[in-house]
Amino acid sequence: MAKSHPRVLTVSPKELLVLQLLARQQPAYGLQLVDASRGRLKRGTVYVTLGRMEEKGFITSHLDDPPPGAGGMPRRMYQATALGTRMLATWSSGAKRLVPEFA
Protein backbone atom coordinates (compact mmCIF):
# COMPACT_ATOMS: atom_id res chain seq x y z
CA MET A 1 0.00 0.00 0.00
CA ALA A 2 1.38 3.40 -1.01
CA LYS A 3 1.92 6.03 1.63
CA SER A 4 -0.26 9.08 1.24
CA HIS A 5 1.38 12.42 1.77
CA PRO A 6 -0.43 15.32 3.40
CA ARG A 7 -1.59 17.90 0.89
CA VAL A 8 0.46 21.07 0.94
CA LEU A 9 -1.74 24.13 0.68
CA THR A 10 -0.52 26.71 -1.77
CA VAL A 11 -1.88 30.14 -2.50
CA SER A 12 -1.65 31.88 -5.87
CA PRO A 13 -1.32 35.64 -6.38
CA LYS A 14 -4.99 35.83 -7.45
CA GLU A 15 -6.05 33.91 -4.36
CA LEU A 16 -4.05 36.28 -2.16
CA LEU A 17 -5.72 39.23 -3.84
CA VAL A 18 -9.17 37.74 -3.19
CA LEU A 19 -8.28 37.15 0.46
CA GLN A 20 -7.02 40.74 0.78
CA LEU A 21 -10.24 42.07 -0.76
CA LEU A 22 -12.41 39.89 1.48
CA ALA A 23 -10.44 41.09 4.51
CA ARG A 24 -11.71 44.61 3.69
CA GLN A 25 -15.28 43.72 2.76
CA GLN A 26 -17.00 40.47 3.43
CA PRO A 27 -19.19 38.93 2.42
CA ALA A 28 -18.88 39.95 -1.22
CA TYR A 29 -20.02 38.52 -4.52
CA GLY A 30 -17.74 37.80 -7.47
CA LEU A 31 -18.36 40.95 -9.50
CA GLN A 32 -17.84 43.12 -6.39
CA LEU A 33 -14.41 41.52 -6.07
CA VAL A 34 -13.68 42.20 -9.76
CA ASP A 35 -14.64 45.87 -9.32
CA ALA A 36 -12.68 46.24 -6.08
CA SER A 37 -9.57 44.71 -7.68
CA ARG A 38 -9.23 47.63 -10.11
CA GLY A 39 -8.50 45.44 -13.10
CA ARG A 40 -6.37 42.80 -11.39
CA LEU A 41 -9.20 40.21 -11.42
CA LYS A 42 -11.15 39.46 -14.59
CA ARG A 43 -14.79 38.45 -14.93
CA GLY A 44 -13.79 35.32 -16.82
CA THR A 45 -11.49 33.93 -14.14
CA VAL A 46 -12.83 35.17 -10.82
CA TYR A 47 -15.37 32.37 -10.40
CA VAL A 48 -12.79 29.69 -11.28
CA THR A 49 -10.48 31.19 -8.65
CA LEU A 50 -13.30 31.37 -6.08
CA GLY A 51 -14.24 27.74 -6.74
CA ARG A 52 -10.64 26.60 -6.28
CA MET A 53 -10.36 28.61 -3.07
CA GLU A 54 -13.54 27.06 -1.71
CA GLU A 55 -12.17 23.57 -2.45
CA LYS A 56 -9.00 24.45 -0.51
CA GLY A 57 -11.05 25.73 2.42
CA PHE A 58 -9.86 29.36 2.17
CA ILE A 59 -13.37 30.73 1.62
CA THR A 60 -16.97 29.68 2.03
CA SER A 61 -20.06 30.77 0.12
CA HIS A 62 -23.82 30.92 0.38
CA LEU A 63 -26.66 32.08 -1.84
CA ASP A 64 -28.07 35.46 -0.90
CA ASP A 65 -31.57 36.68 -1.70
CA PRO A 66 -31.96 38.50 -5.03
CA PRO A 67 -31.64 42.28 -4.79
CA PRO A 68 -35.07 43.78 -3.97
CA GLY A 69 -36.91 45.16 -6.97
CA ALA A 70 -34.26 44.01 -9.43
CA GLY A 71 -35.92 40.68 -10.24
CA GLY A 72 -32.54 39.05 -10.70
CA MET A 73 -31.01 35.79 -9.63
CA PRO A 74 -29.71 35.19 -6.10
CA ARG A 75 -26.07 36.14 -5.64
CA ARG A 76 -23.43 33.79 -4.32
CA MET A 77 -21.72 35.60 -1.45
CA TYR A 78 -18.16 34.72 -0.43
CA GLN A 79 -16.29 35.19 2.81
CA ALA A 80 -12.91 34.11 4.14
CA THR A 81 -12.69 31.18 6.53
CA ALA A 82 -10.39 31.04 9.54
CA LEU A 83 -7.94 29.05 7.36
CA GLY A 84 -8.05 31.72 4.64
CA THR A 85 -7.48 34.48 7.19
CA ARG A 86 -4.52 32.58 8.68
CA MET A 87 -3.08 31.96 5.20
CA LEU A 88 -3.26 35.68 4.40
CA ALA A 89 -1.71 36.64 7.75
CA THR A 90 1.09 34.09 7.34
CA TRP A 91 1.86 35.19 3.80
CA SER A 92 1.76 38.87 4.76
CA SER A 93 4.08 38.27 7.72
CA GLY A 94 6.55 36.34 5.55
CA ALA A 95 6.45 39.01 2.84
CA LYS A 96 7.21 41.73 5.41
CA ARG A 97 10.26 39.79 6.57
CA LEU A 98 11.52 39.12 3.07
CA VAL A 99 10.83 42.59 1.65
CA PRO A 100 10.60 45.05 4.59
CA GLU A 101 10.20 48.12 2.37
CA PHE A 102 6.73 46.84 1.34
CA ALA A 103 5.55 46.49 4.94
Question: What phi-psi label fits residue 21: left (phi over 0), alpha (psi between -120 and 50 degrees) or beta?
Answer: alpha
Beta bridge partners of 25: none
103 assigned to some structural domain: no
Mean pLDDT, residues 23-50 taken together: 94
**In this model, does residue 42 exceed pLDDT 50?**
yes
Within a domain: residue 4?
Answer: no
88 falls within a domain: yes
Give residue 57's domain range. Answer: 13-67+74-93
> With a threshold of 0.85, does the pTM exceed it?
no
Q: Please give the tally of structural domains in the chain.
A: 1
Write the DSSP assignment of 19-68 as a string of letters: HHHHHHS-SEEHHHHHHHTTTSS-HHHHHHHHHHHHHHTSEEEEEPPPPT
Whether the per-residue pLDDT at 70 is higher than 80: the answer is no
